[in-house]
Amino acid sequence: MKKQIPILIVFVTGLIMVLQFFVPHAASEFLFTYANDFVIVIGILALPLGIFSLMRGTVIKARKDPRERFYAIVTIVGFLVMAIANFRRDSGPDSLAQNLFSYVMIPCQATIFSMLAFYIASAAYRAFRVRTWLATVLLVTAFIVMLRIVPLPEPFSSWNSSLVQWILAVPNMASKRAIIIGVGLGAISYSMKIILGIERGYMGGDK
Amino acid sequence: MLQRLLSLAPLLIALSHPIAAIAQDSTLVVAPLLSPPTGLRVGDSPDDNGHGVLARWSVAPDDAELLVYEIWRGPSPTAPDSVWFQVGSAPRGSEHFVYFDEDASAQGQPNPAFVASGEPIHLRVRGRSGDGRLTAWSGAATGVGKGNWFHRGKTNILVAVLLFGGAVAWFINSARRGKELYIRPIPGLGAVDEAIGRATEMGTPILYVLGTGTAGDVATIAGYTILSRVARRTAEYQTPILVPVNDPVMLAMGQEVVKEAYTQAGRPEVYRADNISYVSAMQFPYVAAVNGIMRREKPATCFYMGIFHAESLLLAETGSGTGAIQISGTDQVSQIPFFVAATDYTLIGEELYAASAYLSRAPAQLGPLKAQDYAKLAIILIIIAGILALTLAHWDGILRLVRTPV
């Protein structure tokens, strides 16, 4: 019963979701919106579980390793300050919560994101090493594509621009579409397996 | 002479009268100069939720002189002009217009254009030229919008889904009857055992990252399936597995999957719920937390399975920097190059979905994989047919086969 009932729920809800795709009627739209609202409700109900996990993990880490204590305190204090700031009624553009978000959270996120530039450089170095003739083709193609942003004199600029357009629109697009078609079919096939109860790995497997 | 002039006086007075009337009443000056569109009919707009009506008409005889047709709505067919309001326009030459509005309020105010399902909608049409001249009104027509139970524009998708579903069922049956189904080797999945073995030998944990998708994404569910298999092996080898997640629902699912895998492996006592932890719901704090785990715990093996966005390279490069063997898999086309560059093995697109079949080799799992291959063959044939039809026969009817409504 522990497996059968969830599989039955997945089968019924999955079938409804498939059918609603073909039914434009308002009743079908209502069902879809209702189901999506349930997802939000489930997410909110699960939030305390997430907060408990975060706090518990942080405390355990701090207890195990003294070097982690400072970071653990920062995490817990940051969490509490943000939570208390959001409980306050003033939610305008100059509120504490908004200021914390704008002047602490966003700069921190931007810092992490900007590290991507350095990581791209190191990954590109590995990817563009000339080891095989295929890697050489990749390197030459990448070189041509990157040249597009360099101000070249005419007529090189227009030749390069046309060549880059062709690379992006023909060979690159062909491979992208091949992957997208495969992903689409794979997702449909996988969804069918889930709806029919063949795929149970997400519930911990068979038995 | 005078007598002749006096005899003409009534005629002059009679002629001057309408001129005076015209000069006094300006409304007579704007009498329509162009002929109106005709035969207006308003009926249900097909393939919608009941909040649309379809207006059809025949173009005005002076269509070539027009710029647009204006579609106006009124409370009743006989209502005075002052209460009618414009609800849309269609370029000259058009013979139909779909009037759709299901927003009952506009910025807190009642929306006069709201089309309630089942209520009569009164429309009329007129043409306007580029220099502002108007046609007369077409006659008013009334129609009712009704909700439809099938979107006819999606018939091709329905047929494709049914054919694909039939093929899946056929191949599952074939596999169950004992027919051998070949799957090409996938190096990334072949390396799973090797990667787990490496972590076991080194005595370090395995890091399993499910990405920044949600529990409702197919790729994330595929990630759970692989997690289940990996966790079973780690339970057998008693190697810790760390699963940081970005969603509380995914946390509950992850704990259940790993716990079940440990139970099935006969090692429920080794399971640690704390190893599957929630770190943050936001993308870059999640990256910071996972990168921190990598730097501290130095996992020998990292798995990245699921949906990834800009964080893919941030995670994979950090993992590469710690010397971990890395296996990645995602269906996000834009992130695949990053994973190919930075990880040791990559499951490209559909290979992520093939993982459970590949690892289990169960007939019911292999059937859909075979159906996928035949669907790909069918798509290739349709593409070739499309190229031939458009290039050689200049026939674009084949596009209707694959066109889908937005």
Mean pLDDT of A58-83: 90
**Whole-number average pLDDT of chain B:** 88
Residue B359: predicted pLDDT: 83
**Which residues of A are less than 8 Å from B338 in CB distance?**
123
Model confidence at B12, in pLDDT bands (50, 70, 90)? very low
Whether residue A205 and residue B260 make contact (CB cut-off 8 A), yes or no, is yes
Q: Chain B window 174-213: which residues touch A at a Cβ cutoff of 8 Å?
A: none
Rounded percentage of chain B residues whose pLDDT exceeds 70: 92
Query: How many angstroms separate the CA atoms of B51 and A5, rounded?
Result: 38
Which residue among A22, A26, A112 places its CB closest to the CB of B287? A112
Instruction: Starting at the earlier edge strand, list the strands of the sheet with B85-91.
Output: B85-91, B66-74, B120-129, B141-144
Spatial CA neighbour of B248 closest among B283, B290, B279, B285: B279
Instruction: Starting at the earlier edge strand, list the strands of the sheet with B241-245.
Output: B276-278, B241-245, B206-211, B301-307, B325-330, B345-348
Mean pLDDT of B199-219: 94
Residue B107: predicted pLDDT: 80
Residue B25: predicted pLDDT: 45
Rounded percentage of chain B residues whose pLDDT exceeds 90: 71
Model confidence at A86, in pLDDT bands (50, 70, 90)? confident
Whether residue A112 and residue B165 make contact (CB cut-off 8 A), yes or no, is no
Residue B245: alpha-carbon gap to chain centroid: 26
Q: Which residues pair with B91 in a beta bridge?
A: B68
Residue A207: predicted pLDDT: 53
- Picking from A186-195, B6-15, B285-294, B332-341, which range would have the lowest pLDDT averaged per residue? B6-15
Instruction: Say which residue, B14 or A75, is predicted with more confidence.
Output: A75
Whether residue B365 and residue A46 make contact (CB cut-off 8 A), yes or no, is no
**Which residues of A are less than 8 Å from B278 in CB distance?**
49-51, 53-54, 57
Residue A92: predicted pLDDT: 76
Q: What is the DSSP letter of B347?
A: E
Write out pLDDT tens, residues A134-151: 888 988 998 999 888 888
A129 touches chain B (CB under 8 A): no
Residue A127 has pLDDT above 90, yes or no: no
Whether residue B228 and residue A204 make contact (CB cut-off 8 A), yes or no, is yes
**Which residues of A are less than 8 Å from B164 in CB distance?**
185, 188-189
Q: Chain B window 75-134: which residues touch A at a Cβ cutoff of 8 Å?
A: 117
Model confidence at A164, in pLDDT bands (50, 70, 90)? very high
Suggest the residue from B208, B210, B218, B250 to mutate for an interface test with chain A (most A CBs closer than 10 A): B218
b/e code B265-279 from CB counts within 10 Å (16+ = b): bebeeebeeebbbbb
Q: What is the DSSP letter of B67?
A: E
**Which residues of A are less than 8 Å from B148 in CB distance?**
24-25
Which residue among A113, A182, A204 places its CB closest to the CB of B349? A182
Mean pLDDT of A65-91: 87
Whether residue B228 and residue A202 make contact (CB cut-off 8 A), yes or no, is yes
Model confidence at B18, in pLDDT bands (50, 70, 90)? very low
Count A/B contacts: CB-CB distance under 8 Å. 207
- Picking from A26-35, B86-95, B100-109, which range would have the lowest pLDDT averaged per residue? B100-109
A4 touches chain B (CB under 8 A): no
**E strand segments, B309-382:** 325-330, 345-348
Write out pLDDT tens, residues B357-378: 888 888 888 888 889 999 999 9
Mean pLDDT of B245-270: 93
Which residue among B282, B314, B349 places its CB closest to the CB of A186? B349
Model confidence at B27, in pLDDT bands (50, 70, 90)? very low
Whether residue B376 and residue A189 make contact (CB cut-off 8 A), yes or no, is no
